[in-house]
A = this chain, B = another copy of it.
Amino acid sequence: MVEPTPAAHTDAPPPHAPARHGTHLVRSDWVIVGLALAFMAVAGVTHYLGGGAVLAFVSAAAAVALLAALVGRSVEQLGDRFGPGATGVLQSALGNLPELFISLFALKAGLVAVVQAALIGSILANLLLVLGLCFVVGGLKHGTQSLDSARARGITVMLLVSVAAMVMPSVAHLIHAPAAEHETTLSVIASVFLLLLFVLTLRASLRRGDDPGRPGGPDEAEPPRWKLPFAVGMLAASAAAAAFVSDWFVTALTPAMDAIGISQAFAGLVVVAIAGNAIENVVGVQLAAKNRSEYAFAVVINSPLQIALVLAPLLVILSAVLGFASLTLVFSPLLVVSVAIAVLLSAFITFDGKSTWIEGAGLLALYGVIAATFWWG
């Protein structure tokens, strides 16, 4: 029973509304902390003492997802003090921390194919699975919902640009272009361009932060409930814990997949991608259920943008710097085609500006067909 994270609270503040700057933990905070500690305990025991690959994996996955939620919550409590622009910067920088840890441990363990599949899988999970669920839940409860906003179209254009830049090394490889022999160099070049672009988008969102009329601005955020030192402490603790548990998660991954009998590609594309985004995704669906479809949509399509713009290029550069298994942007062709389809489709949906439950069902069906294609991966 996962409670909503703060983002979903805004239009239904708890009756015991917090005094500003008091360190006030609402019930959902306690539930997440408690569950995270419980699953960490199980995951730690199975990691160090044994208890079955599948149990170790499931408990670590649950713990990672809960710690990711806690990191997100701490960042939000932290950031509001610096205005909405700075919050955006911090959320972008820190929100992907748990996925970054998982990917780094997986690269250290040599699981390059899993990391690549998980990067693309996170994009697919957001654009097809989560968006599909949002549309089905929102559409059945509220009929046709509106997604139309200049902000969503802006995010979509940046998503198209970033994904296009991200897959160019794969394209060069796939068609045996001369550049394919320099795939590591080309991946690093593309990563540097993407990270530069990310730095500029931070500047752009800092600028936008000055604009009170910005959607997602003051009206949509609640005042922080935690004192600054508490928020910083919680962030540090949950991030540190996420780093530990990510290691256990990756250690448990291969034996668990072998036990269940699924391929590395499928494990990365579906299992890791969903585990790494679970809480975020629940929030998106909850917002759609509350008929806050425009905000839900912006949240859900912003996540794949962060993956293409920051997480993937950062991992390419870190894997080279830290001497882990070399991660390039040369994804398997099936990953490239799948992400191209998902990104184009979501662009048309953004530009349509309306969503219906049947469109949601269509996105879920497409996700099912793509996942099935990776089953034999």
- Per-position binary interface string of chain A over residues 292-303, scored 1 when its CB falls under 8 Å from any chain B CB and 0 otherwise: 000000000000
Complex contact A194–B365 (CB within 8 A): yes
Please judge, given known A-B contacts A179-B374, A354-B153, A369-B190, whether A161 and B337 are in contact too, CB under 8 Å: no
Contact of A177 among B341, B351, B373 (CB under 8 A): B373
Distance, CA A279 to CA B156, complexed state (A): 32
Is A196 among interface residues, defined by CB-CB distance under 8 A? yes
Stretch from A49-57, A167-175, A219-227 contacting the other chain: A167-175
With A165-B369, A182-B376, A345-B164 known as contacts, the answer to whether A175 contacts B352 (CB < 8 A) is no
* A204 and B356 contacting across the interface, CB-CB below 8 Å: yes
Q: How far apart are the CA atoms of A332 and B180 in the complex, in Å?
A: 14
When C-beta atoms are compared, the residue in chain B nearest to A196 turns out to be: B365
A352-B351, A373-B177 known; A204+B358 contact, CB < 8 A: yes
Q: Are B334 and A177 in contact (CB under 8 A)?
A: yes
Bound form: Cα–Cα A134–B344 in Å: 24
A residues 91-132 with Cβ under 8 Å of B?
none
Interface size class of A (residues with CB under 8 A): 35 or more
Is B349 in contact with A177, judged by CB distance below 8 angstroms?
A: no
- Min distance, Cβ A263 to any Cβ of chain B, angstroms: 8
A175 in contact with B337 given A165-B369, A369-B168 (CB within 8 Å): yes
Residue of B nearest to A150 (CB): B354
Instruction: Give the copy number.
Output: 3
A160 beta carbon closer than 8 Å to chain B: yes
A347 at the interface (CB under 8 A from B): yes
Closest to A190 in B: B369
Question: Cβ of A362 and Cβ of B186 under 8 Å apart?
Answer: no
* CB nearest neighbor in B for A199: B361
Q: Which of B144, B161, B186, B337 contacts A345 (CB 8 A)?
A: B161
Cβ of A156: which chain B residues have Cβ within 8 Å of it?
348, 352
B358 touches A177 (CB 8 A): no
Smallest Cβ-Cβ distance to A197: which chain B residue:
B365
Pick from B174, B357, B368, B373: contact of A172, CB under 8 Å:
B373
Q: How far is the CB of A237 from chain B (nearest CB, A)?
A: 34
A209 CB, nearest partner CB in chain B, Å:
14
A6-63 CB contacts (< 8 Å) to partner B: none
Across the interface, A157 reaches (CB within 8 A) one of B179, B263, B359, namely B359
Contact B164 A366 (CB under 8 A): yes
A204→B349 contact, CB < 8 A: no
Evaluate contact between A377 and B177: CB separation under 8 angstroms.
yes
- Please tell me if A181 contacts chain B, counting CB pairs below 8 Å: yes
Q: A377 and B179: CB pair below 8 A?
A: yes
How far is the CB of A115 from the nearest CB of chain B, in Å? 19
- Give A343 Cβ to nearest chain B Cβ, in Å: 10
The contact string, 1 if C-beta is below 8 Å from chain B, for chain A 322-338, is 00000000001110010
Least Cβ distance of A370 to chain B in Å?
A: 6
In the assembled complex, which residues on chain B have CB atoms less than 8 Å from the CB atom of A265?
178
Least CB distance from A102 to B in Å reads 24
Closest 6 CB pairs of A and B: A161-B362, A175-B333, A204-B358, A193-B365, A178-B376, A179-B376
